[in-house]
Amino acid sequence: MRPPLDLSLYLVTDTRLCGDRGVAATVAAAVKGGVTAVQLREPDADARTLCALGQAIQAELAGTGVPLIVNDRLDVAVRLDADGVHLGQRDLSPTTARRRLGPHAYIGLSVSRPGQLAHVPDAVDHLGVGPVFEQSTKPDADAPLGLGGLARIVQESPLPCVAIGGIGVSQAAAVKASGAAGIAVISAICGQPDPEASARSLIRTLRQEVPA
């Protein structure tokens, strides 16, 4: 049996925000800082570009135990032999993804309102819940849930939830207090000058640790 996915600090990649440092180097630094899972998300990239980027990330993740999850693109996840896939409500069925990827893959599903919980297939392992706050990296995202909406979904969900959307150091503790298993971030790491330090700061906040 595969171990449960550690959702504590879930990094979602963004080529534009990573800038000249590049995605693979950003991921490597962030993992040193405590990131527990990485999602390859580049919605405008073609399959060849995604696979090349995924391979570069996999090289950085080798030996760390941190899994690589591919956003939306089951075909890319299969070609990379990735650790899993994350799907939106309008993407292909998680049941189809499970059939293609097998029993050891991690399959996540995005949820933005409580009513969607009734339609989560058994193939899903965890939920990405959000956006929690206003955010700028996904223009077509639903309206923010707020902490109250997040807490309601977390309470009603039979699966662990990772919160996403506008979350940084100043929001991390309150989000964790809602009962979420962890936080997913993009700009809070990819858009920062020191991804490793940013990840460490987020982890300390989530664990309510005081810097030495």
The answer, yes or no, to whether residue 147 has pLDDT greater than 70, is yes
Distances (CA, A) of 185 to 14, 104, 133, 135: 10, 25, 12, 11
Q: What is the mean pLDDT of residues 98-117?
A: 96
Q: Among 3.20.20.70, 3.20.80.10, 3.40.190.290, 1.20.1740.10, what is the CATH number of 9-206?
A: 3.20.20.70
In the chain, domain spans:
9-206
Q: What is the DSSP letter of 81?
A: T
Q: What is the pLDDT of residue 2?
A: 74
Q: What is the pLDDT of residue 3?
A: 84
Kindly report the length of the chain: 212
Q: What is the pTM of this model?
A: 0.94
Express each pLDDT in 123-142 by its tens digit. 999 999 999 998 666 666 67
The residues carrying an active-site annotation are 41, 110, 138
Express each pLDDT in 20-69 by its tens digit. 999 999 999 999 999 999 999 999 999 999 999 999 999 999 999 999 99
Residue type for position 91: D
Lowest mean pLDDT among 3-7, 140-144, 153-157: 140-144
pLDDT averaged over every residue in the chain: 94
Query: Can you tell me the distance from the alpha carbon of 130 to that of 204, in angstroms, rounded to the nearest whole number?
Result: 22
Share of residues in the chain with pLDDT > 70 (%): 94
Indicate the pLDDT class of residue 143, thresholds 50, 70 and 90: confident
CB 27 within 8 A of CB 13: yes
Q: What is the mean pLDDT of residues 93-118?
A: 96
